[in-house]
Amino acid sequence: MELYPESQEKLQELLGYQFRDSRLLFEALTHSSYAQEASEYLRDNEQMEFLGDAVLNFIVSVRLADSFPHYAEGKLSLARARLVGTEYLATVAARLDIGRFIHLGRGEEKTGGRGNPGLLVNALEALLAAIYRDGGLPAAQDFVERFVLPADLAASGEELVSPNYKSALQEYLHAKLLPAPRYRVVGEEGPEHRKTFVVEVLVGDLGAARGRGATKKAAEQEAAKGLFELLEKEKESGKEPEEESRLGSQESE
C-alpha cells in the first residue's frame, strides 16, 4: 500500500513536529475501512485512539488543576468535559484540516468520511497518541498546549464551567427526534461600542425563545437557555413536545 509520504510531510510541517518513526503517524491516520481493504496487514488507528483519549484527559486534567487551584472537582470535571468533548475537538480537527490526511477505504470515502466529525476526532486523538509514542509526554503536552487548549486558559475559566445550553438543547431535541434548533439575529440594540444582540432560536413549529447578549454567541446561549428551560417545564408537567404541538414563545432577559 502507498504510504503517502508527501501528505505525512505536509502534516508534520503543519504540526511543527517531525516523527522519528513515521510508521506511528501512518497508523494514526489509518481508518479501519482502509486497513480492511489493504492487500497486506495494516494496523488501524483504533488502539491509538484509545490511548490518545487517555493521554488527552490526563494532560487537560493537569493543566486545569494547575490553572484553577481553587476550583472544586465538579467545576474541573465540567471544564474538562468541554475541552475533550466531540463538539470542541471537532473544531480543533477542522482547524488542522486532518480530514485530508486520513487514509480511508473506498466506501468511507464515498460517504463523506473526511467530513465526519466523529471520524476526525478519532483521528485527532490517535494523532496525539502517535506523538506521545514517538516523543513522550513533553511532545504530547506541547501538542495539546498549541492546538487544543485555549490560548489564554486562565481567562477562559468561567466560560468553560458555565452551562452550555446550546449543546443541552441540541442533545434534548436529538433524543426526542425533534428538528434541530435554528438561530437568527433579530435585532441589535445600543451604541456601536456597547451593542446588544438579540437572537431568536426556533425549533420547527414547536416554539421559539429570544436571548440578549454583548456578542451573538452569548445571545444564542441565552436564547437556548430560555427554550431549554421551557422544554424542561413542559417535561415536568407531563406535556413533552411532539411534532404536532406548539410550545409557544419565551424571551430570556
What are the residue numbers of the active site? 53, 125
CB atoms within 10 A of CB 101: 20
Looking at the DSSP bridge assignments, the partners of residue 250 are 209
Q: How many CA atoms lie within 13 A of 182 on its CB side?
A: 9
Q: How many CA atoms lie within 13 A of 66 on its CB side?
A: 7
Which of 182, 15, 185 lies closest to 101 in space, CA to CA? Answer: 15
Looking at the DSSP bridge assignments, the partners of residue 200 are 184, 210
Distance, in Å, from the CA atom of 242 to the CA atom of 44, rounded to the nearest integer, reads 42
Distance, in Å, from the CA atom of 92 to the CA atom of 128, rounded to the nearest integer, reads 12
CB atoms within 10 A of CB 7: 17
Q: Which three cell numbers stand for residue 33?
A: 475501512
Distance, in Å, from the CA atom of 177 to the CA atom of 97, rounded to the nearest integer, reads 31
Interior CA angle at 159 toward 77 and 60, to 5°? Answer: 40
